[in-house]
């Protein structure tokens, strides 16, 4: 069993959709799964089931209770902005050291108990968390492999490779890159994957087709 950190090259690239698929795959194989999204902005408690936290809990087959929300996403902010901006609007801060300690404890518990742990980030690799640190600093501090989610839209190749280089610059291990098909894109998913393959070396590349939500 292993801990993985799911991040992306930007906002709304499908981190949660990819995470849901990974979680359900592990559960279908009869494996124990834990989930965390330690920092979330744009969180509306009145519609918690529609937030990333709610979706991750649903994928893991866990009830959406206040205690479950607190466990999965201890640092929640209302505004749909970068975490540092959302926190500032509430006269709060994003306490990176506390988040690192919280995640490390969860990683240790999962390893001890033989469970998968999926930690989903907020925004992209370089989204600010405070005045000096970004999501990359959290990822590097945790020292676990990353699943990098990218899109198939125009510009996604540059965004994907830039995010990859940002992670490599901090010696972050890349478990895989998932090309998540972008809705209404006129760029074939396979062509995005094949082009990326020329630049990413031995990194595993996977694709995930677009699936609209059920009515």
d(CA 183, CA 153): 8
Can you state the percent helix, strand and coil of the chain, rounding each to 5? 40, 20, 40
Q: For 128, which DSSP code?
A: B
CA atoms within 13 A on the CB side of 193: 16
The torsion defined by the Cα of 87, 92, 95 and 96, in degrees rounded to 10, comes to 20
Q: Find out whether 138 and 129 touch, Cβ atoms under 8 Å.
A: yes
d(CA 202, CA 208): 19
Known catalytic residue at 37: yes
Strand duo 39-41 + 33-36: pairing: unpaired
Catalytic position from the list 13, 15, 34, 37: 37
Buried/exposed 154-171: b ≥16 CB within 10 Å, e otherwise: eebbebbbebbebbeeee
Packing angle between helix 156-168 and helix 135-142, nearest 10 degrees?
50
Question: Which amino acids are annotated catalytic?
Answer: 37
């Amino acid at each position: 069993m292993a801990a993985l950190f799911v991040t992306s090259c930007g906002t709304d690239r499908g981190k949660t959709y990819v995470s849901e698929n990974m979680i359900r795959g592990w559960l279908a194989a009869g494996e124990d799964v834990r989930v965390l999204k330690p920092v979330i902005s744009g969180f509306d408690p009145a519609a918690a089931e529609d937030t990333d936290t709610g979706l991750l809990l649903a994928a893991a087959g866990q009830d959406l209770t206040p205690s479950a929300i607190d466990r999965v996403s201890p640092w929640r902010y209302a505004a749909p902005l970068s975490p540092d901006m959302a926190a500032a609007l509430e006269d709060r801060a994003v306490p990176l050291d506390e988040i690192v300690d919280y995640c490390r404890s969860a990683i240790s518990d999962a390893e001890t108990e033989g469970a998968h742990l999926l930690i989903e980030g907020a925004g992209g690799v370089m989204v600010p968390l405070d005045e000096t640190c970004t999501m990359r600093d959290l990822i590097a501090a945790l020292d676990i492999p990353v699943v990098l989610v990218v899109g198939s839209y125009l510009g996604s190749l540059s965004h994907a490779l830039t995010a990859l280089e940002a992670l490599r610059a901090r010696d972050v291990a890349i478990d895989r890159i998932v090309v998540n098909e972008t809705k209404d894109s006129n760029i074939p998913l396979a062509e995005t994957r094949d082009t990326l393959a020329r630049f990413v070396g031995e990194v595993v590349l996977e694709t995930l087709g677009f699936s609209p939500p059920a009515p």
